[in-house]
Structure formats: C-alpha cells, structure tokens
Amino acid sequence: MANSSIQEQHQLHFLLIPLMSQSHIIPLTDFAKLLALRGQNVTIITTPLNAIRYKPIIDRAKNLNLKIQLASLEFPNRQAGLPECCENMDSLASLDLGHDFLKANEMLKEPLEKLMQQLVPRPSCIVSTNALVWTNEVAKKFKIPRYVFHTISAFTMVCTFKISGNKVHESVNSDTESFVVPDMPKKIEFKRSQLPEWLREKSDDKKHIMNMMKDTEHLARGVLVNSCEEMEPVYFEEYKKLRGRVWGIGPTILCNKENSDKYDRGNKSCIDENQCLKWLDSMKPCSVIYACFGSLSHIPAPQLIQIGLGLEASNRPFIWIIRENDHSAETEAWLEENKFEERVKGRGLVIRGWAPQVLILCHPSVGGFFTHCGWNSTLEGVCAGVPMITLPLFGEQIFNEKFVVDVLRVGVRIQLMSEKLVKSERVKDAVKDAINELIDGEEAAERRERARGLGELVQKAVEEGGSSHTNITMFIQDVMHAATSPS
C-alpha cells in the first residue's frame, strides 16, 4: 500500500525536448511512444509548424489511450535572424545558418520555463538531444534530472572521443594521409579530410559548440543512445567506460508497427501509399534500389543528374527520391528535356519531395538502399534488413559509413572520395558499379544474409528480454529513483 502511495505521489512525467530538426524530432517522438506504451506521461516540446507534421502520429497514439501530448512553443525565427516559417533545420536555405538556428532554439528557454510551471503532473525529468545544452540550466532550475538523448551511434561517440582526445588527426602531414583511431576495439582509419569540420579545424564556432555539448553531457544524469547493444556491443562497452550511465534504447523506429505509422513518419508524403505499394508489388523480390539522401544533405544539380544516370545505367529497378533541397530548376529541366522518366518508365520511379522511406525499405522487393548515411536512415536500413550503398556527405555520416561498411559489413561504398565525387563526371559509372557489386558481386549473397540477420538482431533488442527493452525499464526506474530521493 505504501509503495502504491509513493507511485501515485510521484507519477512520472517525461519532458522530451528535441532540436527542431527531423533527425532529432523523429527518433525522440518514437521514444516518446515507447515510454507512453509503458504507461508513462510524456510531453514533447515542439513549435507550431513542427506540431502540424507530427500531430497525426500523436493523435493515433492518443486513440490507443497513451498518455502523450505535444506542447507547442512559438519559434523565434525572426529574432534569431532567420526567415519566416523557418522552424526546422530542413527548411534552412543553407547549413551556414546553423549557428543562428541553434540560437533560435536557445531562445525557447524562457517560454519553456513558463510552460513547465503549468504542466500537470510536474515534469520528473528532461530528456533533450545533445545540441540543446541550455536545457541543463532549465533542469537545474526546476531541480529535476536531465538526460541526454543521442541521435548518433555509440561507435561514432567513441570515435569522436578518441580522435578529439588524442588529437591524432593533427599528427598527419596532409588531409589525404590516413591515421588510425587509437585504442579502438577494431582498427579504424580515417583521413583528416573525412572528419567533420568542427573536428578538423583548430578553432571555429562549430568546434566551440561541440565542446560545449561534450562538457554539458557530463553534467547530465545519464545518456540515452538510439542504438542497441546487440548491434555494437564493444562500442557500448567502451562508451560506458568513457561516460558512465549509458542506456542503448533503440532503434526507436521499431515502435512503428502499422503501415500508417511508417507512412506518416516525419512529413507528408508526396506519393500515395497505395500507389507506392502497388509499384513495389510489381517488382521481383530484392531487386529494387532505393536512393535517398536525407533532408539536410545537398548535392549540386550536375552530380545529382549523374546519380540519376548511374541508376538508369545499372539496368535495375529503382526509386529515386529528389528531396526539396535538391529539387532545383536545373534538375527539373534536365528531367523534362531528356525525358528521363519516360526512358525508365516501368523500371524507375522518381519521387520529388518526401517519401514514406520506412514503408518502402520494409517492402520485400527492395534489395538495396543508396543512402547518405544519416543515422536515422542507417537505422532504417538496418531494421529493414537491407544492404546499403554509402555516400556520406557531411558531419558524422562518414563515421556511419565506416560502421556500416567496415564493422557491420553490410554496405558497399561508392569508390570515389565524397569530396571528389561532387566534382567528378565519373559519378555515373561509380554508381552503376556500386549497384552491380551490391546485387551481384562476389560477396553479395553473404552481405545480404548479414543484413537480414542484423535486422532480426535489432528486432530482438527491442522485444522483452532484449537489451533495449531492459534499458528502457532501467531508465524509467532511474527517473523514479531521482523523483523519490531527497534532493
């Protein structure tokens, strides 16, 4: 009876705060559903335009009587020097505006504090993505714990720590000389030119921001990683040595069981679900290449055209997603003038804008995922059990490529450095060769089997008895312990 009374008195309420970017909002929303499925109260902080995107997901969750809600705060885009209606990183005209965008996110601090005073039950903790260092101050003010939610892998975290801590990249003589990441469970090599800008440069704003994230993370009560120990056991073990209280709670995407949840994930699709599935149903199993390069990546029109030509030259069925940030007048003119869609009719499907990626990848006809290696996309490929063709474009994507190709061994990299790729006219042949290697190469069957097995492995991680399922329980218990312990 006493335990029941304590439980009621300390009814948990999880406050989830993502950076206003698809790559952060999507996995944190999935995590919110996982907490709500455990009977917890969850509030996700969002902004008006982002709320419109995610309302269908939350409405479906509420229809299942899950205690989950969106709380919308006005986004201070104009005060931060951003264009009107810019409330998500995928609407930035250029990633050079990233600093201003982070500043706008930080301006949410005061309205968030006002909102928290009105929430019932009172928030028990803050779970925020690593970029939002200011949420540490909010948690401290309200005397509740803050947990960092990482939208990248344990492998990437360990690589980053080892490189930045040992400054091994500064010992090489040129950007094209390779170096070995020290003290790793497996030999991992990089070239300095492959590293994210903030890590490669000696002093700039990005490096300062990343150092702030690192320092603030150590003030958090714990770290949640959207990955699972079954997929990267040695890297979780290493990360726990570096950080302490770490829980792998992913892949969070696997909370989406119904087609409707997979279809509406992230944005309104530019193709009808039934039309998409009907086209996929008409293809042979494991034959279709799905090509998509994320919501933030930008590929110049000449190189994007070369990618399209490479897809065509492969003579394989394909779905080619041209996201809004890549859909230029030049690309559209080329598609029309060269009658590209007519030439590939019956074999190729071009989708301009957002596509139901999870729904597509899970279809039996998909045999390969041509990806920029964003962590969300990488996990979606892994969960679908699909081998990948890798084309990292910026940031931590090169770490993800290393993980997919060299550690998991379920990927084929484009045989051109990404820096050269965007300048090279040989892109067409590189794309064609990578597709052929993925589908028919010497290791194709073994790679396909590894990918399928990996998909089964991560599915078990989120089921009862799996590490991620257990870790979510341990996380909830940790929040309860913090809530019931004397401050």
Instruction: Provide the pLDDT for residue 265.
Output: 59
Instruction: Provide the pLDDT for residue 3.
Output: 43
pLDDT tens string 417-468: 444 555 566 899 999 999 999 999 999 999 999 999 999 999 999 999 999 9
Q: Map residue 66 onto helix, strand or coil.
A: coil
Judge whether 288 and 369 are in contact, CB under 8 Å. no
Instruction: Provide the pLDDT for residue 338.
Output: 95
Give the list of residues 6+ apart from residue 11 with CB closer than 8 angstroms, or none.
Answer: 41, 121
Cα–Cα distance list, 256 to 157, 172, 250, 433 (Å): 26, 45, 12, 34
Amino acid letter at 36? Answer: A
Q: Which two tokens stand for residue 347?
A: 């074999």
Instruction: Provide the pLDDT for residue 198.
Output: 75
Instruction: Provide the pLDDT for residue 113.
Output: 98
pLDDT tens string 325-371: 677 789 999 999 999 999 999 999 999 888 889 999 999 999 999 99
Give mean pLDDT, residues 294-317.
Answer: 91
Q: Which two tokens stand for residue 56?
A: 């269908």
- The DSSP code for 405 is I
pLDDT tens string 224-235: 999 999 999 999
Q: Which residues pair with 390 in a beta bridge?
A: 371, 413
Q: Which two tokens stand for residue 179?
A: 């170096």
CATH topology of domain 2-255+461-484: Rossmann fold (3.40.50)
Q: How far apart are CA 217 and CA 392, in angstroms?
A: 26
Helix (H) / strand (E) containing 22:
helix 22-37
Q: How far apart are CA 102 and CA 206, in angstroms?
A: 11
Q: How far apart are CA 300 and CA 69, in angstroms?
A: 39
How large is the greatest C-alpha to C-alpha distance in the chain, in angstroms? 75
Q: Map residue 219 onto helix, strand or coil.
A: coil
Q: Map residue 44 onto helix, strand or coil.
A: strand
* Residue 4's pLDDT band (cuts 50, 70, 90): very low
Boundaries of every domain in the chain: 2-255+461-484, 259-459
Judge whether 371 and 388 are in contact, CB under 8 Å. yes
Query: Residue 183: left if φ>0, alpha if ψ -120 to 50, beta else—which one?
Result: left
Q: How far apart are CA 35 and CA 68, in angstroms?
A: 9
Cα–Cα distance list, 171 to 183, 187, 275, 455 (Å): 16, 18, 54, 39
* Residue 6's pLDDT band (cuts 50, 70, 90): very low
Q: Beta strand 13-17 with 125-129: parallel, antiparallel or unpaired?
A: parallel
CATH topology of domain 259-459: Rossmann fold (3.40.50)
